[in-house]
Amino acid sequence: MLALKLAYRNLMGAKLRTWLNMIVLSFAFLIIIWNKGLLSGWDQQARRDTIEWEIGGGQYWHENYDPYDPFTIEESHRKLSDATNNAINQGSLTPILISQASIYPEGRIQTVSLRGIDPDQNLLELPTSYLNKDIEELPAMIGQRAAQTFKLKVGDYVTVRWRDVNGTFDAKEAQIVHIFKTNVPPIDIGVVWVPLDRLQEMMQMEDEATILVTNQESGPIGSIVGWVFKDHYYLLTEIREMIEMKQVGGRVMFLILMALAMLAIFDTQVLSIFRRQKEIGTHIALGMTQRQVVALFTVEGAMHSVLAAILAAIYGIPLLYWQALKGWSMPEGTDSFGMTIAETIYPVYSISLVVGTTLVVLITTTIVSFIPSRRISKMNPTDAIRGKIQ
């Protein structure tokens, strides 16, 4: 307790040096917490949107299906068993049939992924109810990114050409019945959604599908012959790797900020020991052991981080709270990068993040303060009182 009182008094006596160190450390606190909170918010939003819009509670893939190999699409379809159809009728699964096709907007040829889905499904956020159109043309739904790329709008007609299961080419007019907005590019860019039964008829793949999306609440229904289940960990790999890559940049910034702050603390401690040799000698002459004096100077250095945390809380809590409410608006064009990212990211600041950051800075500051303080143990008390530099 005595060491704390003496350390606090000495810090307040240093005035400007103490305030400069506190300000630098408080900036480090704030920026580190903000950066990690932003990445955490992005991660949570991306996972939530991808689950709600694309993968549900997980997916069953046809055993030959590989989304990164277009040559597997032609063979990636299978007739659904009676048990699977029962699960679909109970709302545990929704099938999606995927095929390759070409469209001709304004006479231009564009390769697309033609995906059939049940218009009455409710496992995904996709507004498939718009596909419930009793029209002669093929009702089609696309995302905003695809609409911009193809230069299409609601009500436009476009020719769709495909090759059925027998290798025969055919074509049909499709009408764009809806354009949806989503943060998940894989279901938007280069994708055209149509009613499942219409696509099955076109491809001559009656009651067949490529993937089966499971209900978020019930999850997988067990093993299905000819299908491979992919869980959230696998399906969210791209998002996880992307966030980890961004965290590397955050760690570099963290190291730079901590290096600057710790350099300031180290220099302050070295200067303080140099200027206060008489005081050190007096403390020892009055009965304090050299170990106690070392502890005093170490506590002084560590207290910088405590006072900086208080200062950061005073002006940082309102700023971070405002940022969490308003979010961080992403620049235009970000959604064209193919990443699952919202127009506005809302940071998430957890208790573990704040406490963990505070402990890391406190421990680091204590270590940096102790290193120059070790010199005190080598001082001769008599020479120190006389102001001689060792």
CA distances from 146 to 52, 105, 127, 163 (A): 20, 12, 16, 22
Same domain as 66, residue 48: no
pLDDT at 45 over 60: yes
CB 145 within 8 A of CB 188: yes
d(CA 112, CA 104): 10
More confident residue, 87 or 297: 87
Q: Is the pLDDT of residue 334 over 80?
A: no
- Cβ count within 10 A of residue 385: 17
CA-to-CA distance for 91 and 95, rounded, in angstroms?
Answer: 11
Clarify whether residues 246 and 289 are in a common domain.
Answer: yes
The reply to whether 89 and 187 lie within a common domain is yes
Tokens of 362: 């406190």
Of the candidates 42, 24, 6, 26, the one whose C-alpha atom is nearest the C-alpha of residue 328 is 42
Query: Are 204 and 300 in the same domain?
Result: no
| Confidence at residue 389, expressed as pLDDT on a 0 to 100 scale | 47
Does residue 63 share a domain with residue 39? no
For the chain, give the mean pLDDT. Answer: 83
Round to whole Å and give the CA distance between 225 and 62. 9
In a domain, 14, yes or no: yes
Q: How confident is the model at residue 213 (pLDDT cuts 50, 70, 90)?
A: very high
| Chain centre distance of CA 387 | 56
Q: Does the pLDDT value for residue 303 go beyond 50?
A: yes
In a domain, 251, yes or no: yes
The answer to whether position 118 is within a domain reads: yes
> Which domain, by its residues, includes 186?
59-230
Q: List strand residue ranges (DSSP E) for 70-226, in order.
A: 78-79, 93-103, 110-117, 138-143, 157-163, 169-180, 191-195, 208-209, 211-214
Query: Quick one: three-class SS letters along 84-111?
Result: HHHHHHCCCEEEEEEEEEEECHHHCCEE
The per-residue pLDDT for 210 is 95
Give the global pTM: 0.78
Same domain, 179 and 320: no
Instruction: Point out the domain boundary residue: 230, 250, 273.
Output: 230
**Residue 149 domain-assigned (yes or no):** yes
Residue 125 and residue 186 in contact, taking contact as beta carbons nearer than 8 Å: no
Percent of the chain at pLDDT > 70 equals 84
If asked whether residues 90 and 216 sit together in one domain, one would say yes
Tens of pLDDT along 6-32? 666 666 666 777 787 788 888 888 888
- Name the least confident of 170-184, 330-344, 349-363: 330-344
Number of domains in the chain: 2
Same domain, 335 and 276: yes
Domain boundary among 230, 264, 283: 230
Give me the residues paired with residue 213 across strands. Answer: 59, 94
Residues 126 and 191 in one domain: yes
Regarding whether 244 and 307 lie in a shared domain, the answer is yes
- Is 390 domain-assigned? no
Give the domain-ending residue among 178, 199, 230.
230
**Separation CA 173–CA 165 (nearest Å):** 20
Q: How would residue 257 be classed by pLDDT, with cut points 50, 70 and 90?
A: confident
Asked if residue 308 lies in contact with residue 22, where contact means CB atoms within 8 angstroms, the answer is yes
> Which amino acid appears at position 147 of this protein?
A
Task: Say yes or no: 145 and 276 in one domain.
Answer: no
- Strand segments (E) across the chain: 59-62, 78-79, 93-103, 110-117, 138-143, 157-163, 169-180, 191-195, 208-209, 211-214, 227-230, 328-329, 344-345
Strand partners, 172: 160
If pLDDT is split at 50, 70 and 90, which confidence band does 338 have?
Answer: low
Integer Cα distance of 80 and 156 in angstroms? 34
Q: Looking at this protein, which amino acid is placed at residue 337?
A: F
Same-domain check for residues 225 and 104: yes
Sign for the CA dihedral angle at 375, 380, 385, 390 comes to negative
